Amino acid sequence: MTSLTETDHGAASREEGARQVRAVPRWRRGLRPYLLIVPALLLTGGILYPFGLGLYYTLFDFSASKPQPDMVGFENYRTVFTQEAFWNSAWVTVLYAVGAAAVETVLGVAVALLLHRSSLIGRVLEKILILPLMIAPVIAAIIWKLMLQPSVGVINHLLKPFGLGGVQWTDTPTGALLSSIAVDVWVYTPFVAILALAGLRSLPTSPFEAAAVDGAGWWYTFRRLTLPMLWPYVLVAVIFRFMDSLKVFDIIYALTEGGPGDSTVVLQIRAYLEAIRFQRYSFGISYTIVLWAVVYLAAMVLVRYLGRLQNRAAEVSK
């Protein structure tokens, strides 16, 4: 588009082209997006079907010992909610999710702030920040299991000079829960840190310059400027982490298998034990349906929030 005449010509043919596009019948144009999305939906349907089947199973007393199951209505759910084991699992799950998400948030934001200072060391370390995040959580749990062995693990070996040689990390109820949270923190703190760092880098610089001119202190700037502006980014990470931790399975399975006793039996582990280990299929599925409902509600809140966040961002950039 170098000369005016060419531009004019372009505008004319654009109108013509628009007429051509309009020439395709309306109903066919309306159908196009659906056609494009159908394959994805079919594939999704391949997953929705077993989900529906699972939901249907929960109305029966379907188990290995009872291959010809009777319809029992909502009996499975009634049993779930009246069972002490369920409430224990729900409690352990909430402790785990809140604990992991809280520690990851504080630690992740701290790491992001330190990296944002961009010293030479920071720039080098930033490149390797993601490494733990890319290791499968189950492999991370295996790694930590080896390190936390009471008598032969390296952690107790390193603690020996401090008089703490024989800590039973995963063999006490509190220790097992804290150890599994520690593995979660090891794997996922980089996730919070990466999102927080991306947030920090996208913040406008002028408010900070103004604050510096006014002689505002570090703490004041952090509390009044950095944190409020960063919060939307961090909250995305927090919600992601909280929802993922609610359905933790692999870390616990490899590290403690739910023990000792029932101390780390989170809901997905309980569902696994009931459905696969004890082969009470429909009862096990009821557990996961209850968990699914909770996580689904949380997901709805997240997507609403993301929509609001994106709208707000769009308004600001206008």
Partner 1 sequence: MTRKDRRSERKPGGKPWLGWLADAALVLYFVFALFPIAWMVILSLKPANQLFSTYFSFTPTLDSYRTVLGDSEGIPFVRFFVNSLVVSLGAVALSLVVGLPAAYASARWRFKGSENLMFTLLSFRFAPELTVIIPLFVLYQKLGLFDTYVGMVWVLQLVTLPLIVWIMRSYFADLTPELEQAALLDGYTRKQAFFKVALPLVKPGIAAVSLLAFIFAWNNFVFPLILTSSQAQTVTVGALSFLGGDRPKYNLTAAAALVSVVPPLLLALTIQRYLVRGLSFGAVKS
By CB under 8 A, what part of segment 19-78 binds partner 1? Answer: 20-21, 30, 32-34, 36-37, 39-44, 46-47, 50-51, 53-54, 57
CB of 40 to partner 1, least distance (A): 4
Q: How many residues bind partner 1, per CB under 8 A?
A: 105
Q: Is 267 in the site for partner 1 (CB under 8 A)?
A: yes
Round to the nearest angstrom and report the end-to-end CA distance of the chain.
27
Q: For partner 1, which is the closer residue by CB, 181 or 267?
A: 267
Q: Is 195 in the site for partner 1 (CB under 8 A)?
A: yes
Q: Binding residue for partner 1 (CB under 8 A) from 23, 131, 314, 316?
A: 131
Q: For partner 1, which is the closer residue by CB, 43 or 210?
A: 43
Q: Is 99 in the site for partner 1 (CB under 8 A)?
A: no
User: Of how many residues is the chain composed?
Assistant: 318
Q: Is 103 in the site for partner 1 (CB under 8 A)?
A: no
CB of 295 to partner 1, least distance (A): 5
- Number of Cβ within 10 Å of residue 153's Cβ equals 18
C-beta separation of 219 from 165 below 8 A: no
CA 316: distance to chain centroid?
28
CB of 73 to partner 1, least distance (A): 19
Residue 69, phi-psi category: left (phi > 0), alpha (psi -120 to 50), beta (remainder): beta
Distance CA 234, CA 308 (A): 15
Stretches 81-89, 94-102, 161-169, 188-196: which one binds partner 1 (CB under 8 A)? 188-196
Distance CA 132, CA 135 (A): 5
Q: Binding residue for partner 1 (CB under 8 A) from 78, 224, 303, 311?
A: 303
C-alpha pair distances (Å), 72 with each of 7, 63, 67, 134: 73, 13, 14, 44
Q: Binding residue for partner 1 (CB under 8 A) from 98, 142, 167, 229?
A: 142
Stretches 65-73, 77-85, 150-158, 161-169: which one binds partner 1 (CB under 8 A)? 150-158
Distance CA 252, CA 268 (A): 10
Q: Where are the alpha helices (DSSP H) in the chain?
A: 4-23, 26-57, 75-82, 84-116, 120-126, 131-134, 137-148, 154-159, 173-202, 206-213, 218-221, 227-246, 250-255, 267-272, 281-317
Q: Is 166 in the site for partner 1 (CB under 8 A)?
A: no
Q: Is 138 in the site for partner 1 (CB under 8 A)?
A: yes
